[in-house]
Structure 1
């Protein structure tokens, strides 16, 4: 059952092409949802999505890992070409909003060495369990994808995932993935299969080639269930455990922090640049800083916590997410982050909650959550979604 709630006064809505109470079929038709004949609109380093607040450029760092130098370079790009903030995506990528000089942005990204292959730019979506020592396997998979020209034709929505065995990455429903059980197992179409992988990175790349040849207009493997030609098994996924203080085996400390709405503000980025340590972003709108000594870790947490970063893994604020909404996205019917923040501050939410400005539900969780779909300014239809 859907419920309707009002979080703010509702002004007259103008500029809408879809009636508030249009049928589901009409909404899907008008928005082009599910239309795979259209061009994949995922942004990249050389192709952009154009929003109300300017162009969006996205850069892919496999596994979300950036060296201190790479992070500093990317933070400078955000200042030079965008709104100054770094925006995290649910695919573990980083993007910059508000770009006006698209050519200048692309040139700077290329000169920074962030795009090893222009043709493969948008398909290097690789997420991995943090704090699990999977960095070399991530690099192997990235190399395997880059060396095959045919894979450059994959949809930019294609997602690769490496799961350490707790199921948190599996829950993100990657198209292709490696589940590190007793033996590496294949994840295909978001499902854990019984297929074991002798050469995980190469096996995934070869299977991806088969998919590229068979997919037609489909973007995601789950759209063609017949492609999943292996037995599947159920697995109860755990919540990701990467927020807080982590003592590493080499004597260093990693700090993990949640970012409200996946935004790393300019001031925070400047402070992280000054620390000069590797940074890792995750699909859960969080960031980790690695290779700290205890003194550095204490100083970083002390400075960044008052700036809004969340170091408490049990904070209810980590359970509330939202798409961009107004004013950044013209398709939205409300300032969803304003409304989500209102709910967050009130502490009225239980479990995961996601606010969406329209039926696209950008950035929604891949697990069970309560869905707030904007009908107008501050007015929402509330339903339970199983992810």
Structure 2
């Protein structure tokens, strides 16, 4: 049955909201494992989401031998291995190092960098940010100060299209059409315009100035700072000018919503190759699905995979004319290859049995709802809201912008539309699977 409940003025505080941090940063990594109900969890930082096919194969092998057999993607384009057994930490670290995924043990949790996934592939954007990515990662790993960043501090590299800029990073570099770059601190619309070649170094300077400002405050991210992002931005500009960089101030609005993920399907570029963009249902892939991706990247692509902050994968370098048959193969493996799939835009926290705080098996319930739903209308695909299933009020991994909020409670699920942190209307509450599917579909179709 459905019932209406009065909405709170705002949603409960979410992970990453501005609060005083009274305890140390317990964010997991590849070396610092987190104990969950389904075993230990390792979070492997993959700057820019870029993996070689060999590295991707290695992660699949580790997931199968040490964990639950699945590769889980995060909202930052990183990888999680779950269900790890006791005593596997040493072997896990050794294999990660051999694969080149641990260039610095002291920095492994702070290599948090998202980047425009299609940069350099589709002819859009102002510049290819891959050189920025390599340079920034090297600078972070070489910096003693940067090792003091929290595991939640985030860098974003945007090629000018606005997708990574919308992800709420602490330090964002955005390419400009005139060849320069904009440096954004937190959510500020005021940016510092700098030479593009100096952008990675400027981003590291911004992170160091943040650490100085955060000392003694317990702040993990820019939005945690008691005085906000404005004074920090001013300090960063002064530091850059003192180092001899030409810096101009400008106003660049922050892109609205959650950023535009790569369109699913074939991505045509200016050269003689295409890229393939696919989604992973609920952000996870079994061994066979992951092997299909890596084999395809090695045999038909450039040998690279790009994991996206929207829990998808881009395979670059596919020969022109092969996209159709290869997408068919990926679809047959259970991956999401087009916008009409009912899986498009559907996310969930881990739920039961992996999380003790969860009140429901949200992934199983989400799968049941998707199985009972209809394909997305092709003409309205761009207007369909994403939906996130949560096992408790923390809403771990929820999207930014507007989304359909499905939260488990003691009396069933509450379904509502969230925009800018507020509900549009009182949530509907139901414990009936059929009514739940209808409520979610109706909310998704409400559009942006």
**Range of TM-score over shorter length:** 0.7 to 0.9
With 144-153 and 192-201 compared, the bigger mean Cα shift is at 192-201
Say if 1:170 and 1:191, in contact at 8 Å, map to a contact too.
no
* Comparing 151-160 and 166-175, the one that deviates more: 166-175
1:128 maps to what in 2? 115
- Which residue of 104, 109, 113 maps to 1:117? 104
State the distance in 2 between where 1:164 and 1:62 align. 15
Q: 1:187 maps to what in 2? A: 184
Q: CA deviation at 1:123?
A: 0.6
Question: Aligned to 1:227, which of 211, 229, 232?
Answer: 232
Residues 1:243 and 2:277 are matched in the alignment: no
1:208 is matched with 207
**Aligned equivalents of 1:41, 1:3: Cα separation in 2:** 38
Aligned to 1:13: none
Instruction: Check whether the contact 2:289–2:334 (CA below 8 A) recurs between aligned residues.
Output: no
8 Å Cα contact 2:403/2:419 also seen in 1: yes
Larger mean Cα displacement after TM superposition, 86-95 or 188-197: 188-197
* 1:334 correspondence with 2:329: no
Mapping for residues 51-70 of structure 1, pairs under 5 Å: 51-70=36-55
Instruction: Work out which of the residue numbers 382, 400, 425 in structure 2 matches 1:366.
Output: 400
How far 1:188 sits from its partner (Å)?
1.3
Query: Following the alignment from structure 1 to structure 2, what is the Cα–Cα distance between the partners of residues 39 and 371?
Result: 30
Q: Which residue is 2:193 aligned to?
A: 196
| CA deviation profile, 1:234-258 (whole Å, cap 9, x unmatched) | 2444522342102333312210001
Other-structure match for 1:168: 163
Whole-Å Cα distance in 2 between the matches of residues 53 and 208 of structure 1? Answer: 35
Give the unaligned 5+ runs of structure 2. Answer: 121-128, 235-248, 377-383, 422-448
Which residue of 47, 53, 60 maps to 1:75? Answer: 60
Shift of residue 175 of structure 1?
0.6
Q: Cα gap change, 1:285/1:3 in structure 2, threshold over 3 Å: closer, same or farther?
A: farther
Preserved contact between residue 55 and residue 102 of structure 1 (Cα < 8 Å) = no
Question: TM-score, normalised to structure 1's length?
Answer: 0.86
How has the CA–CA distance of structure 1 residues 231 and 361 changed in structure 2, closer, same or farther, with 3 Å as cutoff? farther
* Deviation string, structure 1 residues 83-113 (Cα, Å, up to 9, x no partner): 1111000011011111112222122212322
CA gap 1:377/1:316 in 2 versus in 1, 3 angstroms: same
Are residue 317 (structure 1) and residue 314 (structure 2) matched?
Answer: no
Asked whether the 8 Å contact 1:78–1:86 carries over to 2, the reply is yes
Q: Distance in 1 between matches of 2:279 and 2:412?
A: 25
Q: In the aligned structure 2, how far is the partner of 1:380 from the partner of 1:193?
A: 38
Superposed, 1:252-267 pairs within 5 Å as 252-267=273-288
Which stretch of the first structure deviates more once superposed, 180-189 or 277-286?
A: 180-189
Quick check: 342-351 or 79-88, which moved more? 342-351
**Contact preservation (8 Å) 1:171, 1:367:** no
1:168 and 1:33 mapped to 2: Cα distance?
Answer: 23
Q: Does residue 87 in structure 1 map to residue 72 in structure 2?
A: yes
Report the Cα distance in structure 2 between the residues aligned to 1:343 and 1:301, rounded to whole angstroms.
25
Number of residue-to-residue matches in the alignment: 367
**For residues 195 and 314 of structure 1, what CA distance do their matches in structure 2 show?**
40
CA distance in 2, matches of 1:316, 1:381: 17
Unpaired runs of 5+ in structure 1?
6-22
2:239 corresponds to: none
Please report how far the alpha carbon of residue 340 of structure 1 lies from its aligned counterpart in structure 2 after TM superposition: 2.2
Which position in structure 2 is the counterpart of 1:157? Answer: 152
Distance (Å, rounded) in 1 between the aligned partners of 2:221 and 2:4? 32
Bigger mean CA offset, 277-286 vs 292-301: 292-301
SS at match of 1:371: strand
Return the TM-score normalized by structure 2: 0.75
CA RMSD of aligned residues (A): 2.8
- Secondary structure of residue in 1 paired with 2:400: coil
